[in-house]
Amino acid sequence: MALYTAAKFAVEGLADSYRYELSQLGIDSVTVEPGPYQTGIFVKTDPPADDARAADYRQAAIPHQIRIALEASTAPSQEVADAVLRLIETPGGHRPLRTLVGPMAASLQRINDAAEHIQWEMLTTMGLRHLQAVPEAKGEAV
């Protein structure tokens, strides 16, 4: 799961950087972040070949538990397609950087709101606040 998660963070970091760098050219960079959906990702994974060695790792159960949670997901993938369509229909310059979809969206949105506020403070300190919307414009405290 570590490599999978690292790849997700890399894409998010790239989208963030593009958001700032390309905004001055009128180009929006956005990400759609689906929650747990059933996909074929675990069909292509192999269990550890050495069960004794895998047992040495206390965290070895994490991938198995994640697999169980994802396989139990019943979230309709149409939600993702609908979110992409909404982004396409949103006027340029008004699209959110991150669009969360799925059963965990409300919980994860709190993390994104906190990160956005911190990013705004950092950009302000660097004299670059014009690169991001002002948090209070969305009803957030500064």
Distance CA 41, CA 90 (A): 31
For residue range 91-100, list pLDDT tens digits in order.
Answer: 988 898 899 9
Q: What are phi and psi of 141, to 5 degrees?
A: -80, 145
How many CB atoms are located within 10 Å of the residue 129 CB? Answer: 15
Please list the pLDDT of the chain residue by residue as tens digits (142 residues).
678 789 989 999 999 899 888 988 889 999 998 877 777 766 677 777 777 777 766 556 776 777 777 777 766 678 889 999 999 999 988 898 899 998 788 888 888 888 888 988 988 999 887 777 544 444 444 3
* Helix (H) / strand (E) containing 100: strand 98-101
In contact, 134 and 140? CB cutoff 8 Å: no
Whose structure tokens read 């040495």?
56
Give the Cα separation of 34 and 49 in Å (integer). 31
Q: For residue range 46-64, list pLDDT tens digits in order.
A: 777 777 777 766 556 776 7
pTM of the model: 0.72
Distance CA 28, CA 19 (A): 6
Are the beta carbons of 99 and 32 closer than 8 angstroms? Answer: yes
